[in-house]
Structure 1
Amino acid sequence: MNKTLIKKYNIPGPRYTSYPTVPFWDLEAFTKDLWMKSFKRSFIESNSDQGISLYIHLPFCESLCTFCACHKHITKRHGMEDPYIKTVLKEWDLYVNEMPEKPVIKEIHLGGGTPTFFSSENLSLLIKGILEPSVLHADYEFSFEGHPNNTTKEQLQALYDLGFTRVSYGIQDYDPKVQAAIHRLQTFEQVEKVTQWSREIGYTSISHDLIFGLPFQTLDSIKNSIEKTKSLLPDRISFYSYAHVPWVKGVGQRGFDEADIPKDDEKRALYETGKQMFLDLGYEEIGMDHFALKSDQLYKAMKNQTLHRNFMGYTTNTTQLMIGLGMSAISDSWYGFAQNVKTVKEYEALVASGEIPVFKGHLLSEEDLIIRQHILNIMCQLETAWEEDRMAFPQLASVLDSLKEAENDGIVHMGNERLTIPEAAKPFIRNICMAFDLKLHQKQSETQIFSMTI
């Protein structure tokens, strides 16, 4: 990669799992009643054909990992499992009661936190409760995030028996010094064991999450981590840039000195080295930060141009409506976003009172919807077009003008009412999306709120 371009474009920017991004939601115009109208509209339009997606947030972790920016609740009290599961199921009932017909479930993803904090019995109780008033889509896919240290064979079997075929394990790095810094201690042998269990049981897509740019990481340590990954050959790999945002998450990311974190050319070298090793192993790069074997559905979705992106990241399932259940979970009706309250106590209290526990959100304007589609096209297909009138918007000319310098730098091609990003310019995807992000330009923050783009 051209080091000059990396320095030039390595600026704070969103990861674009939504548009508008959360910091630029119009909170004043949002109400829970308007959100429910948006939800019902989307359900009626899409349920019988596409089906719906469910994201279920299971927030409990027994210890704090300092690289993590997710909403979590640190506890060793497993007695909290039962009331939380009951609350999630009651929240689901509140949504189901607003549906004119049975929901058709196409996708379920269990995220966290640490979903495998929960016992196999409680995980089974949760999924059975979700499915009881529902119908399964013909092409449904269920997935969950597993912690290698506490995922048991019983949990894997219980979820597989309920239809789960995908599991993602958070590895991050195998170097003991890096693991100590991020407070995520796990051995390769433990990862190997849960990966082998998953294959033996019948999981068809196993993913490993790795992070580059962590404190104390070096070229040697990243090579070592990928060599270990090579021996297990997971179907998918997420290779995320470490988002150092201590101003957002406070003391959790202050467990090491700023000087210990690889930056600029050093950090980019970690990614380029890892990327080349993945390509050499037969993986294909998918969008941004993801790699998959050609046998995996994520690769096939990219080739078929059916790849989708939402708050769960890249997915093979395109659903208009995604309902987020659990503390801090975000729902997406395509026409609007809504986020649940962020503490377990408040979440359980609101649901117990019969309220859908949404506390903020955003209702998309017609202009928002057009921009959202352009950004989704760029993130998933590395291109977008505006030859159709429905994809034009008043500020388009100024957006394209702002990309002239990027075009001169070779990171984007424009012409014939179409924009494309060359394969070699994938590291700059977020920068190209930022040109379309009208909300970002209209409400520039005086303080940094996003991680660096490259």
Structure 2
Amino acid sequence: MTVSLVQKYNVPGPRYTSYPTVPYWDESSFSSKKWSATLLQSFNESNASEGISLYIHLPFCESLCTFCGCHKRITKRHEVENPYIEAVLKEWQLYCDTFPEKPIIKEIHLGGGTPTFFAPENLEQLINGIMAKAEKAKEHEFSFEGHPNNTTKAHLQKLYDLGFRRVSFGVQDYSDKVQTAIHRLQPFHNVAKVTFWAREIGYTSVSHDLVFGLPFQTLDNVIDTIEKTNSLAPDRIAFYSYAHVPWIKGNGQRGFKDEDVPKDDEKRKLYEVGKALLAERGYHEIGMDHFALKEDSMYQSFQEGKLHRNFMGYTASKTRLMIGLGVSSISDSWYGFAQNEKELETYYDNINRNELPVFRGHILTEEDLIIRQHILNLMCQFKTTWHYNEGNFKELHEVLDSLLEMSHDELLVIKPNSLTVTEKGKPFVRNICMAFDLRLKRKTPQNQLFSMTV
């Protein structure tokens, strides 16, 4: 029996929003003192030249979506909004107290959870509180994630007035059966309404997030969803692979059986057909699972070799320093990572003691920094290079030897000083990155930590 490339290479693997990946952080040698040192180093190197990024995690949702892997707190009690905003602003003050000068904000992203769970006036209080301690970069990019069911025109107008120009709406799939399985019921009308509002107000980039491989999802479902999406012509589209990891997410993904989830070649066909339909409408593949029209800044960033990837995913605005505010958020100083407490009550306790709510992290070694750049190059540009004194590392020849079979399968091209992923190899970019992942190679996990790569 002939084994397809999907069957051959569909193994558990990281999505590489960081290197090292979180399960391979060296927490034993991490300390708040070391983290603060990397924070100041990065700030001093980059604040004046490129500014910094802020990711603000807003964890509350009114109901649980069973496909979601984000850290969230399910509640319908909106009195939780003000105490949380006050805590986030106190955390921001703790960071600002450590900076030698006023931070310049190049990028803000509101994620969740459901950012639009919060009332517009409370989001205004949050952003004004952040900016009271900072300056706005000339070419800043402020964005937020909106739930089509509860994003109001007032949300969109208020955030626009505060400088937001990009909004991402979670769509997933338009099939009633799929929506019921993932507990995310939202009609096409709601998505169309918020998309039109955003354009009417003046947002320059509207994105729709779609997911393939969801329970009960068929090829007809994907075609219908893509056609409806094309009719609204969002500037960007994220077409994600559903990460079926119920051993991590617990009961949230136990509302359906494993056999209800498309796998291997069946799942990959959903993506390939969807990708072809997007290409017909002028969408260009950007990095992994992302598409954009030529007019969008993400496409332009990709063409210019400036696309960046971090814990927020792909971004057209690269900064070396990204600070994560709020429960469970992860900060990245380039030289180190630090994650906030995951439990809301513990997060509040730290803030009330005037302590940064960091509970774990990792300080990158010289080797980590080299590998990180290679993986970032592959994820953002589908190629990487090395020379005698740059990008080279001791195990490079072993890494390239391990990729020879993928080269024979025409998934990549290896030259004396470079590696380029072919069009055929783009679906397997996570596998290619895994070959560079020295920490993963040195300590193969005994249990499945990651979702499947394809």
Same fold (TM over 0.5): yes
CA contact (8 A) 1:174 1:187 kept: yes
- Which amino acid counterpart does residue 193 of structure 1 have in structure 2? K
Structure 1 residue 282: Cα displacement: 0.6
Q: Distance in 2 between matches of 1:378 and 1:389?
A: 20
CA contact (8 A) 2:411 2:423 kept: no
State whether structure 2 residue 316 is matched by structure 1 residue 312: no
CA contact (8 A) 2:88 2:326 kept: yes
Structure 1 residue 400: Cα displacement: 0.8
Give CA deviations for 1:72-114 in whole Å, capped at 9, x if unaligned.
0011110000000000000000000000000000000000000
Structure 1 residue 424: Cα displacement: 2.2
Q: Distance in 2 between matches of 1:192 and 1:3?
A: 42
Q: Normalised by the size of structure 1, how large is the TM-score?
A: 0.99
CA contact (8 A) 1:19 1:368 kept: yes
Q: Distance in 2 between matches of 1:219 and 1:43?
A: 48
SS of the equivalent of 2:240 reads strand
Q: Distance in 1 between matches of 2:53 and 2:13?
A: 27
Q: Distance in 2 between matches of 1:148 and 1:264?
A: 31
Q: Distance in 2 between matches of 1:395 and 1:338?
A: 28
In structure 2, the residue matched to 1:198 is 198
CA contact (8 A) 2:208 2:236 kept: yes
CA contact (8 A) 2:410 2:424 kept: no
In structure 2, the residue matched to 1:221 is 221
CA contact (8 A) 2:286 2:302 kept: yes
In structure 2, the residue matched to 1:93 is 93
In structure 2, the residue matched to 1:15 is 15
In structure 2, the residue matched to 1:72 is 72
- Which amino acid counterpart does residue 208 of structure 1 have in structure 2? H
Q: Distance in 2 between matches of 1:343 and 1:60?
A: 13
State whether structure 2 residue 113 is matched by structure 1 residue 129: no
In structure 2, the residue matched to 1:447 is 447
In structure 1, the residue matched to 2:415 is 415
In structure 2, the residue matched to 1:291 is 291
- Which amino acid counterpart does residue 169 of structure 2 have in structure 1? Y
Structure 1 residue 416: Cα displacement: 2.4
Summarize the Cα distance change of 1:388–1:300 in structure 2 as closer, same or farther, 3 Å threshold: farther
Q: Distance in 1 between matches of 2:417 and 2:285?
A: 26
Stretch moving more, 15-24 or 381-390: 381-390
Structure 1 residue 3: Cα displacement: 6.4
CA contact (8 A) 1:165 1:205 kept: yes
- Which amino acid counterpart does residue 45 of structure 1 have in structure 2? E
Stretch moving more, 221-230 or 324-333: 221-230
SS of the equivalent of 1:97 reads helix
- Which amino acid counterpart does residue 60 of structure 2 have in structure 1? F
Give me the identity figure in percent: 64
Matches within 5 A, 1:4-83: 4-83=4-83
CA contact (8 A) 1:3 1:265 kept: no
- Which amino acid counterpart does residue 70 of structure 1 have in structure 2? C
Q: Distance in 2 between matches of 1:332 and 1:135?
A: 20
Matches within 5 A, 1:33-432: 33-432=33-432
Q: Distance in 1 between matches of 2:160 and 2:234?
A: 18
SS of the equivalent of 1:237 reads strand
SS of the equivalent of 1:433 reads helix
Summarize the Cα distance change of 1:3–1:188 in structure 2 as closer, same or farther, 3 Å threshold: farther
Q: Distance in 2 between matches of 1:66 and 1:322?
A: 29
State the number of aligned residues. Answer: 453
Q: Distance in 1 between matches of 2:276 and 2:391?
A: 36
Structure 1 segments unaligned to the other structure (5+ residues):
none
Q: Distance in 1 between matches of 2:388 and 2:81?
A: 50
Root mean square deviation of aligned Cα: 0.8
Structure 1 residue 388: Cα displacement: 4.5
Q: Normalised by the size of structure 2, how large is the TM-score?
A: 0.99
CA contact (8 A) 2:171 2:208 kept: yes
Structure 1 residue 390: Cα displacement: 2.3
